[in-house]
Structure 1
Amino acid sequence: MSFDIFHNLIIKAPINKVFDAVSLPQHLNNWWTLKSSGKPELGLEYNLNFTDDYNWFCKVSVAEPNASFHLKMTQSDADWNPTTFGFDLVTTKEGTLVKFSHVNWPEANHHFKYSSFCWAMLLNGLKNYLEKGVIISFENRN
């Protein structure tokens, strides 16, 4: 048995801007990571650095421009390692529907529940970044 996190939200921005914000390192660093690197191409590696202690790696498992972007963790911690997270995007009258998922958690433990809360907060940060140009400093993102 595995456990999954799902969040849906509308962002009042064109789908290509949302795709870039969830897949390009220069944008990830403005709402999620301290510093990251990678290219949104199937099978390529991303480095997601949050601190020296949380310097994680993953591979692109889905990369469909302006539609879907998913990363499979390859080097992180025991809870995150078996997981894949991603963004499926749909254009709506209001903007872009973001269907976020973070799946295959081994346990519904404290870390799983806290990560679900953190994702909700970070996705709100993504929304504010795209809609209002708000960049919250890395130190204030939790």
Structure 2
Amino acid sequence: MGYSIFHNLQIKASSKDVFDAVSQPEHLNNWWTLKSSGKPELNSEYNLNFTDDYNWFCKVSKVINNASFHLKMTEADKDWEPTTFGFNLEQTENGTLVKFSHVNWPENNHHFKHSSFCWAMLLNGLKNYLEKGVIVPFEDRN
């Protein structure tokens, strides 16, 4: 069963803009990864590179244009490997409600808790990126 991280946040942007920001490598690099590659198509492989020591791979496990995007880890840190993370998007009057999940963590350990904190910070970075055009330099991201 495992442990799960959930975060909901409102972003003043269209669901298409949010979808692009969480699925397109050129956008991921502006708020999360150092460099990434992949296409938002079912079973497409993504490379999420943070440093030479953190060069991870995953596959698209669910994709609905402008509504849902989930990645299943295939090669990563031991704690991350069994996990899947993703974004479900709902258009609202004020933009998009982002329902983030990162599920199937094997242990409720330090890494799980630290990753939950990091996701909250990164999702706030995603919000600032989409609402204000803020790009935090990679080395300044937590």
- If the TM-score is normalised by the length of the shorter chain, which range does it land in? over 0.9
Q: Is the counterpart of residue 45 in structure 1 residue 61 in structure 2? A: no
Distance in 1 of aligned mates of 2:15 and 2:81: 29
Partner in structure 2 of residue 55 of structure 1: 55
Partner in structure 1 of residue 16 of structure 2: 16
Partner in structure 2 of residue 99 of structure 1: 99
Instruction: Report the number of matched residues.
Output: 142
- 5+ residue gaps, structure 2: none
Distance in 2 of aligned mates of 1:51 and 1:108: 25
For residue 94 of structure 1, report the CA deviation from its aligned partner. Answer: 1.2
Q: CA RMSD in A?
A: 0.4
Distance in 2 of aligned mates of 1:109 and 1:36: 27
Same amino acid, percent of matched pairs? 79
Deviations 1:106-142 (A, max 9, x none): 0000000000000000000000000000000000001
- 5+ residue gaps, structure 1: none
What is the TM-score normalised by the length of structure 2? 0.99
Partner in structure 2 of residue 66 of structure 1: 66
Q: Secondary structure at the match of 2:22?
A: helix
Partner in structure 2 of residue 122 of structure 1: 122
Distance in 2 of aligned mates of 1:33 and 1:92: 28
Q: Which amino acid aligns with 1:15?
A: S
Runs of 4+ in 1 over 4 A off after TM superposition: none
What is the TM-score normalised by the length of structure 1? 0.99
Q: Secondary structure at the match of 1:53?
A: coil
